[in-house]
Amino acid sequence: MRDYEILANPSEVKTDSVVLQQKIKALAKQKNALILAHYYQEEEIQQVADFVGDSLGLAKKAKETDKAIIVFAGVKFMAETAKILNPEKKVLLPDLAAGCSLADNCPPEEFKKFIDAHPDHYVITYVNTSAEIKAMSDMICTSSNAEEIVRKIPLDKKIIFAPDANLGRFIINQTKRDMVLWEGSCIVHEAFSIDKLTNLMSKFPEAKLIAHPESEEHILKIAHFIGSTGKLIDYVKNSREETFIVATEAGILFEMQQVAPDKKLIAAPSHEDNTCACSECAFMKVNTLEKLYQCLLKETPAIELEKDLIEKANIPLTKMFELS
Ligand code: 13P
Ligand code: SF4
């Protein structure tokens, strides 16, 4: 068995999926709904979306839309962000079980104690958090603008950065700012095997390793380029190189191959994987085309947040848009 997988052509979409996609598109039009999808969604979901993007791009689209309903094909923290930005709109998530290991491992009570233990610190949280955590923060960032935002915080301010310690360490390296980190991590990006990866790089010496900053430090150290999902896609599209080993969730390969059809893309191998050698986020993958259709049809499950929580969480989110 190979311990790597080369993407050839994007797979054919099944006929019943095409029918469902047509029904979803018609329903979205009829209901004046905007369908947003993250790059980690199944390709048949990405194909039906009005916009596919990274966390920052999706938040911007959610902020700008004049549609009555937003259907978020992504994980819960993304849909909550859309709701915070659009309290009066209906924001639907096909499956409320679409969590995130980073958001889930940063509970509000524990985080409150962490903040209290570090008085006078400016609290920057990654967008991969619950609305409660956002409400306790001074500023939000995404993997796409984290460095830019940290660089804009006055040097005399002490900083807490949470919840992704890998992203935090990467930003410390880039900016040389001393930050207190919450030790959270993403289960998908922590699963890459450095041994399998170096082995793969020796088999494909011409390949460039590109990685998401949620990956561990030893992966980032050997990466040729590091960026958010959107930046990784742009890099492959604009690069003169032909072969790339991609260290992030495998759903990204669909859009990457669409925008760069001549490039050879190889999914970075993870520790446990004995079948396809690619890393998948189980939270992202709980959404299916059928669930997307049902949720749009029945207009449930919807994201519900208290007015007071929305108001508090909106403050650091608005600051993020002002700074990036
Ligand atoms: P991006 O902001 O790069 O899309 O990242 C979202 C995410 O969940 C990465 O695991
Ligand atoms: Fe969360 Fe990681 Fe999944 Fe992204 S890939 S949603 S950070 S668990």
Where do we find the tokens 């924001």?
Answer: 91
Q: Give the residue from 158, 187, 216 where a domain finishes.
A: 187
Taking the C-alpha atoms of residue 86 and residue 80, their distance in angstroms, rounded to an integer, is 10
pLDDT above 80 for 9: no
Indicate if 219 and 231 belong to the same structural domain. Answer: yes
The tens digit of pLDDT for each residue in 206-250 reads 999 999 999 999 999 999 999 999 999 999 999 999 999 999 999
Burial of 265 (0-12, 13-18, 19+ CB in 10 A): buried
Indicate if 78 and 51 belong to the same structural domain. Answer: yes
206: how many CB neighbours lie within 10 A of its CB?
Answer: 9
| Residue 314 to residues 99, 199, 303, Cα–Cα distance (Å) | 20, 46, 15
> Under a CB-based contact definition with an 8 Å cutoff, are residues 292 and 25 in contact?
no
Q: Is residue 4 part of a domain?
A: no
Indicate if 23 and 92 belong to the same structural domain. Answer: yes
Q: Is the CB of 280 under 6 A from ligand 2?
A: no
Indicate if 110 and 181 belong to the same structural domain. Answer: yes
Taking the C-alpha atoms of residue 161 and residue 89, their distance in angstroms, rounded to an integer, is 30
Indicate if 200 and 261 belong to the same structural domain. Answer: yes
The tens digit of pLDDT for each residue in 268-284 reads 998 865 554 458 999 99
Indicate if 24 and 93 belong to the same structural domain. Answer: yes
Q: Is the CB of 149 under 6 A from ligand 2?
A: no
Ligand nearest to the CA of 100: 2
pLDDT above 90 for 61: yes
Phi-psi region of 136 (alpha: psi -120 to 50; beta: other; left: phi over 0): alpha
Residue 132: predicted pLDDT: 98
Taking the C-alpha atoms of residue 215 and residue 202, their distance in angstroms, rounded to an integer, is 20
Q: Is residue 172 part of a domain?
A: yes
Q: Is the CB of 101 under 6 A from ligand 2?
A: yes
73-109 exposure pattern, b = at least 16 Cβ within 10 A, e = fewer: bbbbbbbbbbbbbbeebbbbbbbeebbbbbbbbbeee
Indicate if 162 and 219 belong to the same structural domain. Answer: no
Q: Give the residue from 160, 187, 214 where a domain finishes.
A: 187
Q: Name the pLDDT band for 324 (thresholds 50, 70, 90).
A: confident
Q: Is residue 175 part of a domain?
A: yes
The tens digit of pLDDT for each residue in 301-313 reads 999 999 999 999 9
Q: Give the residue from 128, 158, 187 where a domain finishes.
A: 187
Q: Is residue 85 part of a domain?
A: yes
Indicate if 114 and 134 belong to the same structural domain. Answer: yes
Q: Is residue 279 part of a domain?
A: no
The tens digit of pLDDT for each residue in 10-41 reads 455 567 899 999 999 999 999 999 999 999 99
Indicate if 171 and 206 belong to the same structural domain. Answer: no
Number of domains in the chain: 3
CATH number at residue 66: 3.40.50.10800
Taking the C-alpha atoms of residue 160 and residue 182, their distance in angstroms, rounded to an integer, is 8
Q: Is residue 320 part of a domain?
A: no
Taking the C-alpha atoms of residue 316 and residue 44, their distance in angstroms, rounded to an integer, is 34
Residue 72 structure tokens: 């978020």
Q: Is residue 309 part of a domain?
A: no
Q: Is residue 243 part of a domain?
A: yes
Domain of 51 in residue numbering reads as 10-98+284-298
Q: Is the CB of 166 under 6 A from ligand 1?
A: no
Indicate if 138 and 183 belong to the same structural domain. Answer: yes
Pocket test of ligand 2: the residue of 189, 246, 270, 280 to mutate, having most ligand atoms within 8 Å of its CB, is: 189
Residue 106 CA to ligand 2 centre (angstroms): 13
Tell which atom from ligand 1 comes closest to the C-alpha of 56.
Answer: 2
Q: Is the CB of 144 under 6 A from ligand 1?
A: yes
Indicate if 199 and 252 belong to the same structural domain. Answer: yes
Indicate if 148 and 201 belong to the same structural domain. Answer: no
